[in-house]
Chain A
Amino acid sequence: MQLTEKVLKEMNEVIDDCLADEPPYCQARCPLDIDVQGYITLIRDGEYKEAVRLIREKTIFPGILGRVCAHPCEEECKRGELEEALSIKNLKRFAADMADDPQNWDLSREAETGKKIAVIGAGPSGAVAAYELQKKGHQVSIFEKLPEVGGMLRVGIPAYRLPHDIIDYEYSILEKIGVDINLNTEIGKDIAFEKIREEYDAVYAAAGAHKGIMIPIEGSDLDGVLIAADFLRDAALGNDVEVGKKVLVIGGGNVAMDAARTAWRLGAEKVNISCLETGSQIPAHSWEIEDAEEEGIIMNPGWGPKVIKGENRVEGITLKKCEQVFDSEGNFNPEYCDDNLKEIEADTIIFAIGQRADDSFVKDAEEIRQVDEVTLQSQKDSIFVGGDFKGKPLLAVEAMSHGRKAAISIDRYLKNKDLHIDRENEGAYESKLEKEIDPEEPVRRRVEMRMIDVEERKNNFKEVELGFNVAEAKGESLRCLECECKECVKDCLMLEKYCDSPKALFQEVKDVGIDPLVYFSCNMCSQCTLVCPKEFELKDRFMALRKIAVEENNGESPIKGHNAIKWHQRLGFSNLFTTCKPASNNEEDSK
């Protein structure tokens, strides 16, 4: 079939803009592009092994993410507009708990390239990059300062949220695929950064934000003043940690919650948290605050530290009321009321007010601080930078996304390919779907995660969340609205019968042609246009195809059944069946 330019143009509009293959909101928001709807549907159907396989297509850490992912996907979940978002994170953990099996892990590798890559840091970002690059046939060596793998997953996130055996289990894929892991090896101390740069074809610098920030207020040098990053790290590694009975944590982020809950587990009897922010401004996730409060931790929102009191050891702290955290331009610029003070007794003060990566091992840090946002390549061509090391502390899932991005770039760099092309939809992006919730969709309450009793949590780091059982997972998975477009295909029996989507159908017309019966089966009723978010007039396109088909068939329809119409038309215009009568003359009289 010879398509005219106009017809082609109109079909291309559909091919380009039809939303049929637009991913659901959850997947588009996932920095790792995990097929959430896909694995939730599989869980619903009891296909747990398949669900894990699908998750593992995009991450080697299903069990880790299933426990600690901050799940930005859930913020986008359409179900949230109805009652509550799906419990996506917990369903991922369920799939991993039920059916993850190292025998099914993908350890395949492309042919050896002979290229050597150094990864600094065995955290989530470095691990993902190492795995992806090893798969590409390169030889990766990880250099890790700590005695264990996991980085911030292990020493930033307490074990009661992410048990260490889960980390070890999922990280074991690195050794299985041949990544060389060097623990207790600090760059800048055990090996010079310059040496690594020279010996390896490329470097991915992905050290975590292990260095806590401290503000020099009066008393901050007293015994018993700790930094959350160090405190959590020591607790995670089993080092001696000195925690008193009365602890106050300064800070309102997730790390503050972790520090407080860890202190409580290590024997503190009274734990306070003070933070400058109040209400929804508090940076920690709401569920982290709830979990902390459940353990008896007392929130003091709207208070900042004025002075830490004590002789040698901390005895207490004076807090001052914070009246405004951000100025009118939105900058962090706290204002305090020095007359409104509050005393809290404490023998331990933990600062959890921010942390950053230590970059002192790089001589000229500036050179690797300027990083291409698209490729993560630094000014030094062979050095790539990501994770917390790129600037600010990231969510685990974001750090992993950096790892994948860096791996794509490094692989291209080593193969002398363009680093920039086709990288638009890496990481999170906005779905173009225009899904509307069916007004008859029933309300289905979110399945809450069961947890171990608060009493049982004291003095240990047992995992708090118990995970979903089969019934809970099934019930939760049934809540998925399965967001997609294809409104026309759902509405039109003809489209449903002949295509997956208009996009795919017109692509087929262009590529190989289709049976004329398809476009001669359109009722020309415009119902597809009514339900299409793009208001595509599919009938016009089908009509254009009919026209061409007729032209190419000597003016006749190629459809056999249409022969009869020829005769109908001849009769319908014949004298026998037509008449043309003027108004009758007598009607005026009859009026």
Chain B
Amino acid sequence: MEKTTKRVFIPGCSLSSYNPELVGKTIEYLKNKLPGTGAILKCCGKPTKALGQYDEFKDRYASLQKDIDALGAEEIIVACQSCFLTMSAYSKEQKVRSLWSLMPEIGMPEATVGKAKESDITFGIHDSCSTRDRNDIHEGIRWIIDQLGYDLEEPPHSKGDTRCCGFGGMVVPANPDLAQEIMDRRTAEFETDYLVTYCAACRASMYKGGKKAVHILDLIFGDVWTSESDFPDLEGAFDSWANRYKTKKKIEEVLS
């Protein structure tokens, strides 16, 4: 059985806590385009590293690496930029790929190209600061939005020069007031009220900064978004863990 698992998709904590359906649809898409794709739901341990708990981080990451090795995957596909950096640095035996630079190579999911041509809203792109030097990811995201047919707004700080959403470095629990100021400053850069991110934590920050915000997977797999749509709120702690549990179940269902 292991031999058939060539690669593994790791959605990451924040996306799993945000929306189990999107994780499920992503795995179905990958299954279809890239047969031999498994999945792991587990934290990479980055939060401990961000706090400076390096010893604990090593233990945590080893636990994840054990799972990857158990599946025999040669390639890791991630949807989280923080995972991308952490795994690129610590899973030396595996090739780490971002879903966002992979999509232009393997093509959009069925029936998504051009679906949003009639949408009446413009999405501002908020780039993740952790992968500010990954041009392939920036271009992949723009390619995806263009394929879908949405109009785009680039803020003054974007791509390599993007600004942090306010969530980075575990500042939200440490210094919530400052984090809020950073979120407000970031959202103030956009003219449009609608933002798209490719990190669920960034999405939450943009929401807290007063914008209507979605994850790019919402655009790909969700209905066409218009000014009439109901935009997602902030999920509370209980909902987050409930979603995480649902994601686990979803993964097991899709890959059963």
Contacts and interface: CB of A to CB of B under 8 A. Distances in A.
A525 B51 contact: no
B37 A583 contact: yes
Given A565-B170, A588-B35, 19 more contacts: A517-B175, A521-B169, A523-B164, A523-B171, A524-B50, A525-B163, A527-B129, A527-B164, A543-B52, A550-B53, A557-B51, A557-B52, A557-B53, A568-B47, A573-B60, A576-B245, A576-B248, A583-B36, A587-B31
Interface in A483-540: 493-494, 497, 517, 520-527, 530, 539
Interface string B191-228: 00000000000000000000000000000000000000
Contact of B161 (A530, A580, A591): A530
B75 to A, nearest CB: 12
B35 A587 contact: yes
Interface residues on A, range: 35 or more
A547 interface: yes
B202 to A, nearest CB: 11
Interface in A554-585: 555-557, 559, 561-562, 564-565, 568-569, 571-573, 576-585
A517 B52 contact: no
Contact of B185 (A493, A543, A559, A569): A493
Contacts of B63: 573
A546 interface: yes
A525 B205 CA distance: 15
A549 interface: yes
A395 B93 CA distance: 70
- A-B pairs with lowest CB-CB distance, top 4: A546-B52, A525-B164, A572-B43, A523-B168
Contacts of A562: 51, 170, 173-174
Main secondary structure of the interface of B (DSSP, over half): helix
Contact of A582 (B45, B48, B166, B255): B255
A565 B256 CA distance: 32
B51 A565 contact: yes
Contacts of A539: 169
Given A579-B40, A581-B40, A583-B38, A569 B47 contact: yes
Contacts of A526: 129, 132
17 contacts: A493-B178, A523-B182, A530-B160, A546-B51, A547-B52, A561-B173, A562-B51, A562-B170, A565-B48, A565-B173, A569-B60, A577-B41, A580-B71, A581-B252, A582-B4, A585-B4, A588-B4
B241 A577 contact: yes
A337 to B, nearest CB: 60
A571 B43 CA distance: 9
Interface residues on B, range: 35 or more
Given A546-B51, A562-B51, A521 B245 contact: no
Most A C-beta atoms less than 10 A away, residue of B130, B167, B173, B252: B173
A555 B48 CA distance: 10
B248 A520 contact: no
Contacts of A591: 32, 35
Contacts of A525: 129-130, 132, 163-164, 168-169
A565 to B, nearest CB: 5
Interface of A: 493-494, 497, 517, 520-527, 530, 539, 543, 545-551, 555-557, 559, 561-562, 564-565, 568-569, 571-573, 576-585, 587-588, 590-591
Interface of B: 1-2, 4-6, 13, 31-32, 35-43, 45, 47-48, 50-56, 60, 63, 67, 70-71, 129-130, 132, 160-161, 163-164, 166-171, 173-176, 178, 181-182, 185, 241, 244-245, 248, 251-252, 254-256
B52 A497 contact: no
Contacts, number: 165
A523 B166 contact: yes
Nearest to A518: B175
A574 to B, nearest CB: 10
Contacts of B176: 561
B25 to A, nearest CB: 15
B201 to A, nearest CB: 12
A555 B51 CA distance: 10
Nearest to B27: A581
A582 B56 contact: no
Contacts of B38: 580-583
B53 A555 contact: yes
A576 B5 CA distance: 23
A549 B254 CA distance: 44
Most A C-beta atoms less than 10 A away, residue of B53, B63, B167: B53
A492 B54 CA distance: 26
A119 B201 CA distance: 73
A494 B174 contact: no
Contact of A573 (B35, B42, B163, B182): B42
Contacts of B6: 583
A219 to B, nearest CB: 71
B55 A555 contact: yes
Contacts of B35: 583, 587-588, 591
Given A497-B178, A523-B164, A569-B45, A583 B255 contact: yes
A576 B244 CA distance: 9
A580 B9 CA distance: 10
B1 A577 contact: no
Contacts of A527: 129, 163-164
Contacts of B160: 530
B77 to A, nearest CB: 12
Contact of A493 (B31, B56, B181, B252): B181
